[in-house]
Structures are given as C-alpha cells and as structure tokens.
Structure 1
C-alpha cells in the first residue's frame, strides 16, 4: 500500500475508533457549548473557515484537549473551508468534517488530518476532485479515469469504485486525496488526508 494510502486508512480508522471510545471532542465550528479548547489554527473570515497549517502542529493549534486523542469539527451541511499550507499554497473546498488526530510515541506527539466531503452525485464529485487536483497539482487524468470507471459501471453494482491520488508534500505535511462511489447508490464522497512528518 502507498504511503498516502496508509495515511488515509490510519486516519479513518483512528477517527472511527475514537468516536466509539468517546476520546474525541466533536463540535460545530464556533459552537460556544463545546467543551474543547478553541483551536488557534482556525479563524472564520467572511463565512469561510480558515485553517492555518503552516505552523508547528500541536494540540493547541487543533483544539485537542490534553486528555483526548482527536478534535473533530463537524456540521450537518458542507461549509466553505480554506487550508493555508506551507510554501504559500492554499486549498479551497467544501466539507462537512475536519478532524485532527494525535498519536503519542517514544518520539513525542504526531498529528494527522482528515477532511471529508458530503455525499454527492458522481458529476459533482468529479468537479470537486478536479478542483482539488488543480489546487494540489495532482494528475487530472487519474480523476477522469476514475469518473469514467464510475460512469461505465453497471447501475446495480454494489462494489465501490475507488480513487486514490499520489501523495504531495508541503513542508512537513504530506497530503493525498481519496474518493469512492457506490454505483447502485449513484453517489460518493472525497476524503483529503494528511500527516505531519
């Protein structure tokens, strides 16, 4: 499995386990009722949720309480998000969930990022993936191949059609994009995952 494939799988597994074990803080952005600290890396400007990922990753930056392993920021509907990355790059997208996970080892804390879009029709997912590919300088042809596979799949197919991009690195942050579509449901969603080295 590729490095970014491992990142995406580990991020998804960690969030699922954390949700089941109650070791996360889940709240809507700006929710005054949340018991978690306000993340210092997040601001909201003109209705756009901005995450400054150019600094050192930390529990303070991502709003992770000391006794928790993750901070999850989720809304019922997708919201506009701007990720400010190292090297002067930024990524604009719409998503329902932004999560940060901390793992602690002998070399200290390590952090990963997971962003999940809403479930949408394949045509809209195609546009979302092309936008992400353009902004992250990923091969657009691979997105088109994925959508062609979705289009050509039998309508009754239950097995998901999957896409996983190559990884890209900005500073110490390695990112990748994944997506899947269930042809029988005629819908799918993307995930943007990453980890700091």
Structure 2
C-alpha cells in the first residue's frame, strides 16, 4: 500500500495550479488581515501556504498584484456566500475579513480601489438600487454612501459607540439601526 509520504509527497503540501493558488490566497488573506500587506513578505505567505516563494510570484506576479488578487478573492467569496444563502454569521465573518484586509492595505499605502478589479457586492447593490433612480450618478452616490456607512461602523464601532454615548446598545440593535440607515440612504430623495 502506498501513502502520500511513501511517494515523497506530504498530504498537506498543495500541488497543482488550483491548489497552490487557493493556498496562497488563503495564507495571504490571513496574513494581510493580521498584520497588513506592508508587514507581510512573499516569503511569509509562501511559508504559511507551504509552497515555494517562486510559485507565489509565478501565479500572482508582484506584491501589488497579489494584494489585488486577495481583495478580488475575498469580494467574490463574500458575494458567493450571500448568493448561496449562507448563515449570516458566516457571511459576516467573510465580509469582516475582506474589510480588514482592505483597511490594512489602504493604511499601508496600497491603492486598494485600483488593485481590486471586481466589486461584486457593490455591483449587486447598485443593480438593486439603479431602477429606483432617474439618474446613474444619484444611484452610484447612494450606493457609495451606504457602503461608506457600513465600512465606517465596521472599522470604528468602538470609537463611535463611546463618542456618541451609545455603549448600552446591543450589537443586534446597532446592526439593525445601521442597516435601517443604509436602507434610507439608498432610497431616492
């Protein structure tokens, strides 16, 4: 009987383009969320994903390109979870991870809005809102403002709770209030 070890391959080492790419994206997302892209080297990502660092370059190119690929991957993951009707807690974790990576990338000076090439969640919201508006610009601004509200609360919740004196609100009450305000923002005035 032959096992993975007997053939010289360890079971936990990714093999093939798809496995390597998936392992690199997962490792990079974790590390970028933990410490940001600036404090994460390609060698760190290679070590975490258990691949040779040359494969990271081969599959993703420069570090900027890898940051963009991670942001695209996280956006698509969140969008797929939402479309599949995944449990809200799972969608929340995926969205939070995406926001953390985006925020860290921006704080590190990466042009995240230019590196990320697909914005499925924002596109879906825009498709939902656009028919209510008579003009494209108004619909886009409404979506941008609603997304900004959500991002602001996710990134600055503890500060906002304290500064506004709403520490007594439960997480559920706050989520409901922010969602209601975002829904109000996307309605035409």
Compute the TM-score of the two structures, normalised by the length of structure 1. Answer: 0.22
Larger Rg: 2
The structure richer in helix per residue is 2
